[in-house]
Amino acid sequence: MRHQLARLIQYFGGEVVFFQKPAFFWENLRAWDDVSASDGVKLSRTKQLIHHQLRIFDFLGWVNAEFEERSIREKIGDYLDERVVVVNFNYDYFFLRKLFPKNKIVTIINDDFVAQARVGVSHVEKTLSETCKSSDVVLTVSYPLVRKLSRWCAPVLFLPWADAPYSPPDSSGKRDAVLIWASINNILDFELLAELAKKSPDTEFFLVGPMSRRARRMVENLISRNLNVFYFSARPLESLPLERFFAGFMPYKSGVASTEAVTLANKSLRLMSKGLPLIVHGMPHFFKHEAIFSCTNSEQILERFEQCKRDFLRLQKDIEILVSENSPESRHGLFVNTLNAVERKM
């Protein structure tokens, strides 16, 4: 969402300086000086001292904050103008108010950082709460995160949007495949996929996306044992045989807290803009819609496979309406209206 929002603001006439993920103190930043992306967004980068998962004591958080403050201050230069809006995606940037005392600060929490903590949660909750309290407004991307953040602020739901308008799918194609367009990693439920591939031999499963090293063996085993499973490296939707797919499929493991926090995955509306209904597993709080089917077991998924094949064309009107309601224009309007409705914290 970081990159999406930067492009959205720039598209509607805003000037954007985008700070990439901080490098560690020993890394060379020379290549990041005065760099611009192809869409005109100016890129920059700062440094951090300690990985955020390791700041388990207050002292470590304070030392890192002092280091990052200095690094940011060296980079921002003229961007201290009080008319500049600071959009923050870091849950642990509680020190931004000291850097930007006269600016509006918007914090966007797009992940469940508490659930992702590897060494206790108390330090994560503390820095997250301080960051939220020091922000003028907090936006977040799911219903569970709205509830969680409500302990410290009044968060506003800010769902992903469709990057492209709805385009009617080919009505003459033989739709016999599902598309898993995702990062192929160990959060996917490979046991479930193996079961589905065997129970639905006439359905082809396309796994498309970057593959993690930990997932490689599982994917190789899945493909070697099932002739209807295929893997392709990351590529845009437009380069895929979209006329083959009857649904976008998100088969995630159940019980993973960070995944269960998802209400609408970033890729959801991209898939739906191509006319694909969605079948999801492992995300009980997913967005409710006539063309989105949440399942808890393989039997339900197989039923939804048949339903999507049968009702593919009938679902198109509902999909078109959802995509149009979540356009770049609508989300930019929400962002601007939310920003205009808040007063800067002193």
Q: What is the tens place of the pLDDT at every residue in 116-136?
A: 666 667 788 899 999 999 999
Could you read off the pLDDT of 1-24 as tens digits, one per residue? Answer: 888 999 999 999 988 888 888 888
Check residue 172 and give its pLDDT: 80
pLDDT at 115: 63
Q: Which stretches of the chain score pLDDT less than 70?
A: 30-40, 77-80, 113-120, 344-346
Residue 12 has what pLDDT?
92
Task: List, in order of start, the domains of the chain with CATH numbers.
Answer: 2-161+328-341 (3.40.50.2000), 177-323 (3.40.50.2000)
The predicted pLDDT at position 179 comes to: 98
What SS3 string covers the chain?
A: CHHHHHHHHHHCCCCCEEECCCEECCCCCHHHCCEECCCCCEEECCEECCCHHHCCCHHHHHHHHHHHHHHHHHHHHHHHCCCCCEEECCCCCCCHHHHCCCCCEEEEECCCHHHHCCCCCHHHHHHHHHHHHHCCEEEECCHHHHHHHCCCCCCEECCCCCCCCCCCCCCCCCCCEEEEECCECCCECHHHHHHHHHHCCCCEEEEECCECHHHHHHHHHHHHHCCCEEEECCCCHHHCCHHHEEEEEEEECCCCHHHHCCCCCCCHHHHHCCCCCEEEECCCCCCCECCEEEECCHHHHHHHHHHHHHHCCCCHHHHHHHHHHCCHHHHHHHHHHHHHHCCCCC
Q: What is the mean pLDDT of the chain?
A: 90
Residue 118: what pLDDT?
Answer: 60
pLDDT recorded at residue 54: 75
